[in-house]
Structures are given as C-alpha cells and as structure tokens.
C-alpha cells in the first residue's frame, strides 16, 4: 500500500471588508484555493454569511482603538497575506487606522516567522479618464500612467500610495480594479434600476446624457478576486512587492453597447437614446455612464498568467440582471449598501 502524500503547507489570509462586494469574492477565491481564510466584518450578524462559505469570521471594525486582533490570534499568530477591501469616506483617517492594524498584525506574524504580503485595494479611477472609443490617439491607462483622480477619490488615491512606506514590517502591492459587476451588482445594479424604470415611462425610452462612445471598462467580481489570488500565490514575492497592478476585463464595453443590451433586455419600444435624464437620477447616471476609461491589465496577465473568464457585462446582461434582481428581492445587504454609498459619494461636498 503506497504511503500517503504529505499534505500541502497551509497558508492563511486575512481579508478586511470580508462581507463587502470585493472582499466577499476575494474570501471565496482563497477558500476555493485551499487557504485558511479569516474575514473581518463589522457586525456579528454578517458572521453567519462568512461561516456558511467556510470563511472564519472575525468581528470588529477598522478604528484606532480596535481590539479584534486578539480574536484572530486565538486562531493564528501568523498570516501569509492580508487583503484590504474596505473603503470609507473621508479616506485618510480610515487608511491610517488600517495601517496601524496591519503593522500590529505584521509585527506578531514576523515574530512567529512569517512576513506578510499586503494587497491593498484602490481603484482605476486613480488615473482619471481616457478618451472615448474611436477618439484620436486613444490609449489605455497602464500602471505607469499619471494619477489624475476625480475629486471624490482623490484622498484614496494618494493615501493608498503610502502603503509602500511600511516595508520594515510587510511587503505590499497596490491593486487597482476597474468597476465590477456580477451577483448583487455593485454600482452596475443601477443600470438595471434604470432599465426597469424606463419600462414604466410613457414613451418607453431611457435617456442617457452622455456620448455613446464612452468607454465602460469593467470586470466580473469573481475574475477580479482570482487576480488577487494569483498575486498572493505568485512564487516570486519580489516581483509583486512594491508594485501596482491594474485589474480589468480583456475588452471593454461602450455606453452604446450597454444601451443596446438594455433596450433589448427591457423591450424598450423607445430604445435608449442620448438625452437628459431625470433630475432624480442624473447624478447616478453620471457616476455609472459618464466616466470614459480604458484600462490595460497586461502587467498582471504577463506576470501571473491570470486572465478573466466571465462574459462581458453587455454580452451577458440578461444573466447579470437576473442575479441582481434575485439579490434585490432577498433584500441583499450589497444592494442596500451600494445605494447608500452612491448617495454618500454624490453629496454636494463630495461631487
């Protein structure tokens, strides 16, 4: 009888914002890959959702006087990877609280023989906008592009760069995903709200006041999560540490392709046409459809071999609509959270 194979070494990951849109997907990806996965959630009620997916919940909040690490230490004194998926506005104070947590966690982990890698999440809006589809000299944003963030993400953009200042305790990489879609929808769920509302309009028309060549570049949230995993598992830590990585789909949609998909999906007899949106939805429409950006993700693809696998948003819009509506019907926290976040972003002082 052959002797049993030795088990592979167990690696551990600690994810902040573990019940959030990106964080929950990241946790699931690491669990599937065999990592022992710890997820930070603010509310005890959310712990059940994590436990159901074989994620070990740690209840606590990101704040200067946090005490939740003692609960984590009951399970482990070391973590191989930390993934930061939380975002609060204003961002500066939140970043400082995160860094204090990461440093304390890294000190304990280092004392026990493991130096962590921190994967810190920002976003591709750090670069600002590109031209629209077909515009002269159009080129994608790469990791070398200058940072020209919109006002509402400016503090996050520049605070996030400071994650590299803590190499005395941990390695770090800065991750910039494009907007994401899938399941409860994140911000793209608003597109479905607009489509449903247009079916009730007298003329059956959805009006969007933006150039239909606007580039809407996005990525499925599960593909994005697999990119984080690919960086965590890459064998050469030196090739990851100190680097920025964009995460984007292999191709982009345009506002026109999404408009056509929405028109077909909701059977809008007036279609989706350029024109002023209602006063109530104008700011939401601007956030979702008024930001043209093409993002290159060659760097992470060439380094790790990661690639996106899911169909694009416009191409598979019917499936993504069904998933969103199912989540909304169930009163999914993600749907409610994004609606609240959009409201906070678009306050008069934040826009």
pLDDT at 279: 61
In a domain, 2, yes or no: no
3-state class percentages of the chain: helix first, strand second, coil last, to nearest 5:
40, 15, 40
State the Cα–Cα distance between residues 299 and 296, nearest whole angstrom. 8
Tell me which residue of 73, 101, 69 sits closest to 86, measured CA to CA. 101
93 in any annotated domain: yes
Tokens of 295: 């993002």
Reported confidence tier of residue 122, pLDDT bands at 50, 70, 90: very high
Indicate if the pLDDT at residue 87 is higher than 90.
no
What integer is the mean pLDDT of 57-70? 89
H helix runs in 151-273, sequence order: 154-160, 189-198, 221-233, 237-240, 255-265
26-53 residues labelled b (16+ CB within 10 A) or e (exposed)? bbbbbbeeebbbbbbbbeeebbebbeee
Which pLDDT value is given to residue 277?
64
How many domains does the chain divide into? Answer: 1
Least confident segment among 125-139, 238-252, 274-288: 274-288
Residue 7 belongs to some domain of the structure: no
The DSSP code sequence of 284-299 is HHHHHHS--B-B--HH
Q: Which of 117, 120, 128 is nearest to 150 (CA)?
A: 128
Q: Which of 85, 82, 91, 78 is nearest to 23 (CA)?
A: 85
User: Angle at the Cα of 82 (from 306 to 226), degrees rounded to 5?
Assistant: 20
Q: Quick check: 158 pLDDT over 90?
A: yes
160 class by beta-carbon count within 10 Å (0-12 exposed, 13-18 middle, 19+ buried): buried
Share of the chain above pLDDT 90, in %: 75
User: Does a structural domain hold residue 238?
Assistant: yes
Range of the domain at 135: 12-345
DSSP letter, residue 89: S
Q: Stretch 272-290: mean pLDDT, rounded?
A: 76
* 267 φψ region: left (φ > 0), alpha (ψ -120 to 50), beta (else): left
**Rounded to an integer, what distance in angstroms lies between the CA atom of residue 188 and that of residue 104?**
36
CATH code where residue 22 lies? 3.40.50.720
Work out the pLDDT band at 12, boundaries 50, 70, 90. Answer: very high
Section 318-329 average pLDDT: 94
Question: Alpha-carbon distance 318 to 306, whole Å?
Answer: 26
Residue 76 Rama label (left phi>0; alpha psi -120 to 50; beta): beta
What local confidence, expressed as pLDDT, does residue 346 receive? 46
**How much is the pLDDT for 263?**
97
Mean pLDDT value across the chain: 91
Indicate whether 303 belongs to any domain: yes
Q: What's the rounded Cα separation, in Å, for the pair 186 and 188?
A: 5
- The stretch 110-130 carries a mean pLDDT of 97
For residue 126, is pLDDT > 70? yes
> Which structure tokens are listed for 244?
């920025």
């Amino acid at each position: 009888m052959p002797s049993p194979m030795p088990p592979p070494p167990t690696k551990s990951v600690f994810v902040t914002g573990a019940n959030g849109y990106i964080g929950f997907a990241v946790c699931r990806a690491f669990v599937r890959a065999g990592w022992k996965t710890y997820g930070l959630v603010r509310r005890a009620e959310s712990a059940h959702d994590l436990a159901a997916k074989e994620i070990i919940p740690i209840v606590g909040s990101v704040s200067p006087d946090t005490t939740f690490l003692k609960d984590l230490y009951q399970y482990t004194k070391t973590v191989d990877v930390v993934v930061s998926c939380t975002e609060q506005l204003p961002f500066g104070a939140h970043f400082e609280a995160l860094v204090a947590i990461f440093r304390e966690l890294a000190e304990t982990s280092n004392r026990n023989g493991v130096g962590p890698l921190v994967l810190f999440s920002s976003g591709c809006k750090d670069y600002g906008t590109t031209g629209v589809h077909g515009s002269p000299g159009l080129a994608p944003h790469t990791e070398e592009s200058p940072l020209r963030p919109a006002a509402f993400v400016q503090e996050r953009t520049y605070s996030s760069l400071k994650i590299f200042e803590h190499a005395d305790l941990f390695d770090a990489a800065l991750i910039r995903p494009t907007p994401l879609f899938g399941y409860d929808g994140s911000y793209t769920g608003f597109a479905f709200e607009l489509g449903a509302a247009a079916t009730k309009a007298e003329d059956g028309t959805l009006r969007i006041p933006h150039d239909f060549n606007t580039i809407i570049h996005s990525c499925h949230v599960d593909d994005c999560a697999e990119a984080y995993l690919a960086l965590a598992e890459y064998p050469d830590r030196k090739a990851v540490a100190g680097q920025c990585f964009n995460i984007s789909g292999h191709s982009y949609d345009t506002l026109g392709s999404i408009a056509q998909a929405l028109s077909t999906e909701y059977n809008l007899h007036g279609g989706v046409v350029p024109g002023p949106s209602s006063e109530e939805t104008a700011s939401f429409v601007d956030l979702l459809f008024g930001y043209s950006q093409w993002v290159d993700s060659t760097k992470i693809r060439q380094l790790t071999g990661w690639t996106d696998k899911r169909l694009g948003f416009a191409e598979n819009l019917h499936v993504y609509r069904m998933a969103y509506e199912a989540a909304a019907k169930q009163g999914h926290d993600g749907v409610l959270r994004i609606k609240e976040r959009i409201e906070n972003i678009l306050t008069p002082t934040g826009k």
